[in-house]
Amino acid sequence: MYVSRDVGVFNRCPNCGAGGITFDGIKKLYCQECSFTLFHNVAAAVAAVLEYGEQIVLIKRSQEPGKGKLDLPGGFVDPDESAEEAVRREIREELSMELGTLKYLGSSPNTYEYMGVTYKTCDLFFSSRIDALPKVFDKTEIEELVLAKPSEVPAEKIAFESGRVCLSQLVQNV
């Protein structure tokens, strides 16, 4: 255990308010004043590979992190929600679509930097075939929709490492 100079917004104990909390460099913050321990555990997130013919639907992000970069539609899993429920909800919210059959593709660790907090995530990927493209999408989160073959998407244009891993695996498995 060491005292970290960079604990982001976590510079005071949420229990007693004392400063100088320690961070183990992985996930545990500890207050030496009151012995409170806060575990900053991995968050679950989901994304959908929406297959439209031989292409997939990508979104261009309109928000940080990764503003202007490509991503698979998805988001964080809410409390008391399964990954499958989460991916269906996220697609409904972002693209106004209902998904049919889901196929689990795999998972990948990721780092999500937001408002001074580094979130470590475990991103779960699902695929679903769609017969029509989304007609409406959430413009607060999505700048535009992009259709592309997975093999034609440049890795450097993908917002997150986990998305790059997923697309790379899709290309390898074709």
Domains and CATH numbers, the chain: 1-40 (no CATH), 43-172 (3.90.79.10)
* 109: preceding bond cis by omega (within 30 degrees): no
Residue with tokens 């004043």: 33
User: According to the model, what pLDDT value does residue 3 have?
Assistant: 42
Residue 85 tokens read as 């429920």
What was the pLDDT predicted at 85? 99
Helices of type H across 47-159:
83-95
Report how far residue 9's alpha carbon sits from residue 106's, in angstroms, rounded to the nearest whole number: 32
pLDDT by residue (tens digit) across 77-102?
999 999 999 999 999 999 999 999 99
Q: CB–CB of 125/105 below 8 Å? A: yes
pLDDT digits (tens, 9 = 90+) for 26-73: 889 999 999 999 998 999 999 999 999 999 999 999 999 999 999 999
Paired tokens of 67:
């503003």
pTM: 0.88
pLDDT of residue 5: 45
Burial class of residue 125 in the structure, from the number of CB atoms within 10 Å of its CB (0-12 exposed, 13-18 middle, 19+ buried): buried
109 — pLDDT class (breaks 50, 70, 90): very high
Average pLDDT over the chain, rounded to whole? 92
How far is Cα 91 from Cα 95, in angstroms, rounded to an integer? 5
The β-bridge partners of 44 are 122
**Which pLDDT score is estimated for 8?**
62
